[in-house]
Chain A
């Protein structure tokens, strides 16, 4: 564990990623303090360029403060990213693990379902689900979780099968250990590294899907989100570049940060690298 941490902190990717992520989290936490007024409220003239009228990032077509939107949007992105990644992890790891270890008809069904999902455009399905269930934080998290679990399940299944075929698992069976103990003590700990890494990348992917949904007008109408802001500024990009540029940078930085953390995690959890 000490090895893992020190390798993680020795990677520039890890440090930069953690720092950026820390900044984003701080933004999310400080938003209610710095911008106590709802980001939906009109607080200035419309179309104020950045730096004027005391507005750091300018105002949008309705006179709403862009900076307030960017700050408040951080928590929406993070919450949706993490919650939907967790949803897909819980579903994917459970199904993948059972399918991979026990095989049989259950495995066959899980494999077929993931194969079908592979041919489904994830984002389009998310659109349909959110549109039908009507947009809210809950339905967005549900939709993203539902379209992303199959890849986690596939990965878990493959990992579990690889580990289960290794001889220490056969030895554990011969030692008389019960199945649950073998899965919990031998298989999952050895199979988990790539799943954790994939999980961290799926947080980033979820944030991007959420942004696209909001951009399409399928965001939660009660929460300001970065994707919505870009979508709203899209038609006036010729006159007011700032309305789309700043929320976009916020998304970019958040996703880069999470990807960097994921990459450093990948190196740190890889015993070949961390034990050097």
Chain B
């Protein structure tokens, strides 16, 4: 097979004082025409560095200190600046994770693509460039290319921006496309569209694609070959089917096992009385730019009715803008609803006075998405935990002792008490947040995307911890997530939301087996790796059945 890109013995050195000397070491792989190679790894694995090294885009503090990057018979590490410049966006192009920040906010998107064309083809006249931009825009499936090329990035949706980035990358018919987590910042249905687009373009053009991702589901969907990275080292490399179905390395197996939502769906029937009842909840956000300007209205909640039963985990699933996080905040009155009711027992929380609200919040605790902003950086984690019980009158010494207990219970050390948040990893911080919530002995736990910012292996551990604690203390849980896989992993019942409305709600098993609404089906179909995991589940079930016979 004719190799397009060959990497041998690549080593990238980090500046002194980091957690390790080399970002990556001894990396060998290649990419052929008409092939998608995925680099998979968790954060800190060095996967992005490799992608940046190929085009010489590493930050000046990080240096390639060894190895060979072969492309078109040349070692890219020895190219002059000018030669590298003509290669970039020419024969090799690249797209990035966050399409909003990757586009210049001050320039029309059409012009930004035109710049890429002109940089490599000075002979083309204005009309020629324009025609090519329009052609590229229609190739990447942008609606109404003539109009869109005059738009600024802030006027486009996330998916449209990434399509613009892809059009820019394709503008000089590259042989190799490097895609650095191109779908991570996108909603799941948009992600599916972009992945399909990349597959389609690969087939039409016979490009090689080097695709960097942390999501093994995405790998399963698109990779021809794959490379597993951990802390800068290659663990496994080979055809995707082979690696995924018969992983040789424990870490790869762990990554696969950690993907949520593959096992059997929880079958706990909704028992007991409803402990939380939300009815006809409504919220509009109005922003006005001036006293005479027309207000912009976003409906975050459009008559939501929900019941959470005693001891149940209810997952609320939706894409960005569905109103799911606002819902969580309205329950705790961190955001005030316009109308409707939130009842716990006989009490309507929305009408509660100050003291009642305080007591309700003690019983209903929340864990937030971002483990970096949900702990006060200037306070020891112990102090953060004990301030809750103390404000409800517990003596300090007792609160401190209990806080230490809680830290141990959530899998940390009692010594963690005196340390500051920045000394912990994301997963550890999230454990601290869980300890802080549980220290008040709540009966209801609201988890607002509580595992979304975590690496998949850490995510699995935190989910496990949550369900253990929930069982131990008989909690009920409202679990907000964008990820159907996570919902499937933890929820008894699932509510699907879109545009501030409940689209569908059902027992988890029933919802996955027979979705009733079109939108739910779209969401389910968009889950990355769905086909693969279904297949592998069937494969692993088959021998067992044989054995039983």
Q: Do chains A and B touch in the complex (CB under 8 A)?
A: yes
Partner of B392, one of A166, A176, A271: A176
Let me know if B376 and A174 touch, CB within 8 A: no
Partner of A172, one of B329, B369, B377, B387: B387
A181 interfacial contact with B, CB 8 Å: yes
Let me know if A174 and B332 touch, CB within 8 A: yes
- Residues in B neighbouring A170, C-beta threshold 8 A: 329, 334, 366, 368
- Residues in A neighbouring B498, C-beta threshold 8 A: none
Let me know if A173 and B378 touch, CB within 8 A: no
> Which A residues are within 8 Å of any B CB, using their own CB?
166-168, 170-178, 181, 185-186, 189-190, 271, 275-276
Partner of A167, one of B374, B378, B422: B374
Cα–Cα, bound, A166→B375 (Å): 9
Let me know if A190 and B440 touch, CB within 8 A: no
Q: Which residue of B lies closest to A171 (CB)?
A: B374
| Contact-residue size bin, chain B (C-beta under 8 Å from the other chain) | 20 to 34
Partner of B377, one of A177, A185, A190: A190
- Residues in B neighbouring A171, C-beta threshold 8 A: 366, 368, 374-375, 433, 436
Let me know if B376 and A190 touch, CB within 8 A: yes
- Residues in A neighbouring B481, C-beta threshold 8 A: none
Let me know if A175 and B440 touch, CB within 8 A: yes
A176 and B440 in contact (CB under 8 A), knowing A168-B374, A168-B376, A171-B374?
yes
Q: Which residue of A lies closest to B365 (CB)?
A: A174
- Residues in A neighbouring B217, C-beta threshold 8 A: none
B427 interfacial contact with A, CB 8 Å: no
Cα–Cα, bound, A140→B108 (Å): 52
B470 interfacial contact with A, CB 8 Å: no
- Residues in A neighbouring B374, C-beta threshold 8 A: 166-168, 171
Within B376-402, the residues touching A (CB, 8 Å) are: 376-379, 384, 387-388, 391-392
Q: Which residue of B lies closest to A172 (CB)?
A: B387
Shortest CB-to-CB span from B325 to chain A, Å, is 11
- Residues in A neighbouring B334, C-beta threshold 8 A: 170, 173-174
Q: Which residue of A lies closest to B392 (CB)?
A: A176
Cα–Cα, bound, A122→B376 (Å): 37
Q: Which 6 A-B pairs have the closest CB atoms?
A: A175-B388, A167-B374, A167-B368, A168-B376, A166-B373, A176-B391
Let me know if B361 and A176 touch, CB within 8 A: yes
- Residues in A neighbouring B392, C-beta threshold 8 A: 176
B455 interfacial contact with A, CB 8 Å: no
Shortest CB-to-CB span from A175 to chain B, Å, is 3
What 1/0 flags go to B354-374 for Cβ under 8 Å of A? 000010011011101110011
Q: Which residue of B lies closest to A187 (CB)?
A: B376
- Residues in A neighbouring B373, C-beta threshold 8 A: 166-168
Shortest CB-to-CB span from B370 to chain A, Å, is 6
- Residues in B neighbouring A190, C-beta threshold 8 A: 376-378
Cα–Cα, bound, A175→B332 (Å): 11
- Residues in B neighbouring A276, C-beta threshold 8 A: 17
A175 and B378 in contact (CB under 8 A), knowing A170-B366, A271-B422?
no
